[in-house]
Amino acid sequence: MKFGSVGFHPIDEREINLVEQINQTWSYIAALAAARLLLSMHEDAGGFELAPGAHAALDLDIMSGRRGVVGAEVFAAVTPDNNRKLRRDLDKLSKRNEVHRYVFFLSPRYPKNEHQSRLDPVPQDSGRNPIQVWSVNLN
């Protein structure tokens, strides 16, 4: 199941292994929940483009229609520190120039749409908006 192509990508018409199908499906669900939240937070962003996943067409999982306004990475996991995913996404966003930068995650241990300020990185550059870490839910 982990190595054989017995599943399908949730959007593209291609075979993938079952574990990857589960990961990709939940990544898309998390991205939709994050986009819904971003739409309410940034009405001036010109909408959002979503392309979660390793083979996506965008530089980030979510990017504002007005480039340079909002950029976000998104993932689903049991906990945000699984596989150092949060750390890797924070590192990636630290090199980006969007005005508003976010990491969103979907986790059963964080059941609310909520800014998880204790997971925010320590701001490195004065004058820039800090990267924010948010949990999202399915409601």
Total-model pTM: 0.87
Q: Is 113 helix (H, G, I), strand (E, B) or coil?
A: coil
126-135 b/e (C-beta count within 10 Å ≥ 16 → b): eeeeebbbbb
With a cut of 60, say whether residue 1 has pLDDT above it: no
Q: Chain-wide mean pLDDT for the chain? A: 88
What percentage of residues in the chain have a pLDDT greater than 70? 86
pLDDT of residue 56: 64
Query: Measured between alpha carbons, how far is 92 from 73 in angstroms, rounded to an integer?
Result: 9
Question: Residue 16: which pLDDT band, with cuts at 50, 70 and 90?
Answer: low
**How does pLDDT run across 24-80, given as a tens digit for each residue?**
888 999 999 999 999 999 999 999 999 987 666 789 999 999 999 999 999 999 999
Give 122 or 48, the one with higher predicted confidence.
48
Give 8 or 116, the one with higher predicted confidence.
116
With a cut of 90, say whether residue 116 has pLDDT above it: yes
pLDDT of residue 115: 98
- What are the residue ranges spanned by the domains of the chain? 7-136
Q: Is 33 helix (H, G, I), strand (E, B) or coil?
A: helix
